[in-house]
Structure formats: structure tokens, C-alpha cells
Structure 1
Amino acid sequence: MASTNSLSRKIEQNGVVSPSNNEAHAKLIAELQGQVMHVPNMLSLFPTWPSGGRNKYYKRLKARLDEIVASVYPDEASRRRAGKNDFAFFASIWYPEVEYESLFVAGIFSYWIFAFDDLMDANDEDLSMDLSASARYREQTLDYTRYWLGLEPLKPQTSTLAKLSSWLLPASRGEKGEKGWSHALLSYLGIKSKREPVAPNLPCSTFKEFGQAVHRNHSKAFREGLAKELKDYFDHCEIEQKERLTGKTSVDFDSYVAIRYYTSAVRIYCYITQITYGIEIPQQILDSPEMQALWKEVDINIIIGNDVLSVKKELAAGCVHNAVPVLYHQGRPLDAVIPELMRRLETCRDRFDEAAVVVQKVCSKESEKVQEDLVKYIDGLRTIATGTIDFCKIAERYGLTSYFNDDEAI
């Protein structure tokens, strides 16, 4: 973590805030670090939800992702740091029953989004300290993701003639991503079609393989829905970054969750879960108030589980955008914060189960396949919620394994 003084100087140079504005975060971190936090076995709160699974293809996926990490990071220190995250283990816990190809899609996406998130959060990274540079990076990343999902950029650069030609010659890109005869004709005529954007950096380039897989197997409506969630994620990462750089702390749990609801990336994983299960819930169901209520509960569930178990790591990184510091900042002692979050977690669990019943009732007239997919999907969302707790407890990324008691409390 950079010192408060050096951090403040960097922000002042970028014209964002004055040197004193980050002192509040530094003080909050200093108060919390060194305190003892007692956390019960959170998985015991979910006795009827699926948990504890491990995908049989874990080792195979880990070997493949290790190769990708080695190709992305030229230096040993960066490779070692990335290896601590073990994205294969994460994907194997979240999706314990899917086949290898689906697991790989979840694994490569998880590597990509963890890398993006860490780049935005790290107080020792130039990009995370510069609002203008990070805004450009997010815009480039958005263009890159839309391209590989087979979607038009939000700010099209293509000429009117190219658009007309693409309409007249629609097969400019095949299902497997190869360039077809119409693309060759456009090139021969000197007409620029949709241009492949340059990846902002090597870690971002790993989205290509994920995007191609989604493009091959899912409808445009589905891909547009996923792209919308990615944009919401990027937009709220900017809000969170501004709060971090200006020393702002959310005034209460609800205002914190209003932003974290998007930066947690859980809504994106509500699409990834469909991809890994090889299903596509109709978009009108995904957009319905009933399904959105279900998404909200699994999102808050994962936010609480992750925040409680990752707070040690995040405070060490200089980050207070976490439910534990937010509630502590309101004047609650630490030994009251965790019980409150456990009560919220139980309430969230019950609301999810109630919302699941409502979704299935509303969709009772859908086809048999849609109803079967919904049952699988809802249990999949339960699995990623319990899987978050499982992963955070065990993964080297969070450094908690030495704190377990015999009853799995921490």
C-alpha cells in the first residue's frame, strides 16, 4: 500500500482531490487493522443449498490457465502473484458439475474479470490512481468485449457505405469467427467493415477466447444482455474508483450496496451461469421483475459472503469499499458488525428462496424445457452463492486457512 502522503500527492497532480481527502480512509484502516474478528461457519446457514462440490476437471483447467497466465505475464513475480488466485479452483467450486469446455469458459472469464478488478483497485498501480487514464482503459475494454461478443461498438466508426454493404452482404463473419467472402469483397473494394480493436493490454486480450465461445453458442439478444451488464460493471467501477480516490466512505449499508450491486460482477455471472450450463433463459424472463428480484438476492448474498472473508486482504491493499468497514464507520463495534451481517445473510437467503418460488410460478406456462432450465439455473445461483464462501475460506488469495477452528468458524 502506498503511504498516505505519496497517495495524496499523486491524486493532487491529477487534479482530483486535495491531499487531506484520503486521510479518512487511512484512519479507518488503521483502526480496523489488528482487531480480532470472529466469523461463524457461514455455510451452516445454508443447509438446504448445494455446496462443497469440486469439478473433476480442475487439474486440467488449472494446467491450461497456468499456460495462459505464463503467456500474459513476462516476469516471474507477476505470474506468481496471478497464480495465487487459482481461477481454475474458483470455477471448479462455482460450477462443480459442468463439462470441461464449459468450465474453461468460466475459468478464462474469471481470470479476465479478476485481472480487471485488481487493476482498478490496487493503490500501487498507476492506472488505478489516474481517473482519466482508467476511463480510457474502461472505454477501450468495452469496445474490445463488444467486438468479440459479435456486437457493434456503442460509438460506431464504420462508414455509411460499409454499413450498407454489410447489410447487402450479411455473411461477413461466420459462426466460428472466420472472415467470409463478403468481408474479402469489402476489403477488395477498399471499404472498411467493423475493425478489430486492439486489446488495452495482454490480460484483457484473454476475453477474445471467451467472447468467441459465447458468440458461437448464444443469441444476439443474450449477448446484448451480457454486454449491458459489462457496461454497468465498468460504469460503477468508475464511481467506486472516484470514491476511493476522494476518500469517501458510504454512509450506510444500502448506499454501499447500491454501487457494489454492480461492481461485484454477480449480475454478469448470472449470464455466465447460463453459459456454463448450456442454457439460455428467454430474455423476457431474465428482464422480468421476478427474476431481477432473484438476482438482487443472490448478488447481496455473495457481496456479504465475499466482504466478510476478504476484508483482511482488502484492508491490507488500502481498500475500505467493503461492508465491514462501512458498518464499522457508522459507529458499530466490530463484534457487532459481523452478527448484523450474518442476520442480513440469513434474511437474504430466505428472500432468495421465496423469489425462486415466485419465478417458477410466473413461468409455469412456459415450455417444459424452459421450466427444467429454470430449476437448473436457480440451483446454479445457489451454488455460486455457497461457492463464494467456500472459495474465500480456502483460496490463497485471502490468506484465511490458518484461522479456522474445528467447527469451521474463523
Structure 2
Amino acid sequence: MATLLSKSQDVEMDPACDDASSNSSDSGYETITVGDEWIAIVMKYNEVEAAKNSKVDLCFLASIWSPIASEDRLKIMLDWHHWVFLFDDQFDEGHLKEDPTAAAEEISQNIAIMGGDAPRYTADSNPIRYVFQRCWDAISEVSSPEMQNRWIDQHKRYFAQLLVQVDQQVSGQNFIRDVDEYMNMRRGTIGVYPAINLTEYGSNINLPQHVYENPSLQECMTVSADLVILVNDVLSYRKDLALGVDHNLISLLMEKYGLNIQKAMDEIGNMVNQCYRRWYLALAELPSYGEKIDREAMRFVEVVT
């Protein structure tokens, strides 16, 4: 997940980012250090690990998703970004990569957090679940039932495709599937869909469910996920090779279709161009719902862009 959720760096950045990533806060359950310093304490990082994590600058990533987020909401967005990288790495290159039973159990426990059926986790008992539970507590406290359901549904979608990824890894299907099958699986595992809902929270977007479900907006979400997949697979190709990670489109195009690396890159370039075409066609089909809702719909489109 080296470039998960990446966006253009030539964008507006939330001025609250510096505060969210480094200051102390008493807005949570107790007075805590927030951001990179907080996650280093939770995960018990040594100095080298903490410095490596800070260098990633996840607050920058969160702030360009939602440049207008309040400091408190940006902090939760930052916590979620820390969580999703830590959680995902367990399935990409960690102990859950080839263990379907343990993977299913881990996902079940995270779903229970959103259902209110989980124990209260601490940084000592289970640090990764603790971070996710803290995010869910904050978001569910201020979100509408519709928004909470979107959050739950899109995380379940993400979790389900992680299980597909593990099953395909174990059964050796990584280079048997075709491009469409690969993209369908990766749309779930790349993490864009829950990130979009997180940004709805950060930007305080109020989009009615029937508008959210419009095929045009759903296609915009899919295009956004596809673009992140394509960028991710190009930028993380060498790292994936070094770590033995097979779910990379370049590797699939070379192994299954016999393309050399340049032709594989050219094919990805063609797919990127198609994404732009799909995006504009989807927007052209988006109906008007009246001035107030249209304004929220355009704010949502900006999030997805």
C-alpha cells in the first residue's frame, strides 16, 4: 500500500495539518499526544520506526483529501490513515498474507467494532484495533445514520476483498485472473471507498443517500479507485518485487499476457486515459437535484477527484 490514496501534490492543504500531526489534545478519551507522536506511542515504535513513519507525512495526505476539515476532524482522519496502512500491511506482506482463517477472524473483530459488539481495546491489548475503534467512536458520535451505514458498508467492502486477496494468494491465482478480475478485487483492497466516506466526514458533506447511490457518482468513485490502483502499481512495482507481493498490475500484464515492462506501462497509460473519459461521461449524466443538493454533490465530486 505504498501509495494508497495518493493525490496530486499541487493542491490546497489544510492549515490545521501541523497542529493535527504534532500537538497535544484533550478532545479524545484522555489527554493524549496526537498524530505521528501518538501513533508512535500506541505502536511502541523505536526511534528509527517513529522517524520512518513521520517521514511518510500522512497528515499531508489527510489534509489534501479534506483541506477544510476542522482540527479535530483532521486528527481523526490522520488516525484512520495510520490505521489503514497498519491494517493493510498485515494482509499484503504480514502474518495474514497466507492465513485465510486468521484473516477472517481479524476482519470479523473489526466488523464487531462498528457493530458495537467488540470489547473496549487499549493500546496494550490490541493497538491496531484500538486505533480503528477510536476512529469509529468519533465518527459515529457526530454522523447521521446514513453516513454511519456508508462507513460500515464501505469498510465491509474493503474487508471482503482483502479476504479474496488472501484466498487468491494461497491458491496461486494471482497470475491466472484477467485484468477485469484483478481490477475488481483491487478496487476493494486499495482503500479508496472508505477513504471517500472518511472525507465526507472531514469536510462535513451532507449528501442524501439516494444521490450518493446515483450511478454517475458511483462511477466517479470507481474511476477514482482505478486511478489510485494504476498509480500505486506503477510506483510500488519495485517494492512489490522485492517483498514478493504479486498483486500488481504490471506483474500481471507481464506474466499472463507476455508483455515486456514497457508495453505493460503503455497499457496502464491507456487505462489512465480511459479513466478520464469515463469520469467526464459520468459527470455529464449526473442529474440536477436542486441548488442545495447540487452544491453538496459537487463538493462530493471534489472529494472524489
Interval of TM-score (by shorter of Structure 1 and Structure 2): 0.7 to 0.9
Aligned to 2:14: 55
SS of the residue 2:285 aligns to: helix
SS of the residue 2:245 aligns to: coil
**Distance between the aligned counterparts of 1:370 and 1:57, measured in 2?**
28
Letter in 1 for 2:274: T
Is contact 1:301–1:349 with CA below 8 Å preserved after alignment?
no
Aligned to 1:256: 182
Letter in 2 for 1:70: A
Is contact 2:96–2:102 with CA below 8 Å preserved after alignment?
yes
Is contact 1:55–1:93 with CA below 8 Å preserved after alignment?
yes
Post-superposition shift, 1:110? 1.0
Superposition map of 1:272-311 within 5 A: 272-311=198-237
Q: Superposition RMSD on alpha carbons, in Å?
A: 2.4
SS of the residue 1:320 aligns to: coil
**Distance between the aligned counterparts of 2:37 and 2:91, measured in 1?**
24
Superposition map of 1:10-409 within 5 A: 51-63=10-22, 64-76=34-46, 78-122=49-93, 125-147=94-116, 196-198=119-121, 201-250=126-175, 251-329=177-255, 330-359=257-286, 362=287, 364=288, 366-382=289-305
Post-superposition shift, 1:80? 4.3
Structure 2, gaps ≥5 residues long: 1-6, 23-33
Letter in 2 for 1:218: S
CA displacement, residues 278-301 of structure 1 (integer Å, 9 cap, x when unaligned): 012111112232322222111111
**Distance between the aligned counterparts of 2:133 and 2:269, measured in 1?**
39
Structure label with greater radius of gyration: 1
SS of the residue 2:15 aligns to: coil
CA displacement, residues 164-207 of structure 1 (integer Å, 9 cap, x when unaligned): xxxxxxxxxxxxxxxxxxxxxxxxxxxxxxx6454772122112
Which region of structure 1 is more displaced relative to structure 2, 257-266 or 290-299? 290-299
- TM-score, normalised with respect to structure 1: 0.64
**Distance between the aligned counterparts of 1:55 and 1:109, measured in 2?**
16
Aligned residues: 284
Distance 1:127 1:296, change over 3 A: closer
Question: Which one scores higher on RCO, CA 8 angstroms, separation ≥ 6?
Answer: 1
Letter in 2 for 1:53: E
Is contact 2:121–2:127 with CA below 8 Å preserved after alignment?
no
Post-superposition shift, 1:53? 3.0
**Distance between the aligned counterparts of 2:55 and 2:231, measured in 1?**
20
Post-superposition shift, 1:116? 0.5
**Distance between the aligned counterparts of 1:295 and 1:116, measured in 2?**
22
Post-superposition shift, 1:210? 1.8
Structure 1, gaps ≥5 residues long: 1-42, 44-48, 148-152, 154-194, 383-410
Distance 1:105 1:368, change over 3 A: farther
SS of the residue 1:128 aligns to: coil
- TM-score, normalised with respect to structure 2: 0.85
CA displacement, residues 31-55 of structure 1 (integer Å, 9 cap, x when unaligned): xxxxxxxxxxxx9xxxxx9943333
**Distance between the aligned counterparts of 2:183 and 2:274, measured in 1?**
15
Distance 1:78 1:322, change over 3 A: same
Is contact 1:141–1:204 with CA below 8 Å preserved after alignment?
yes
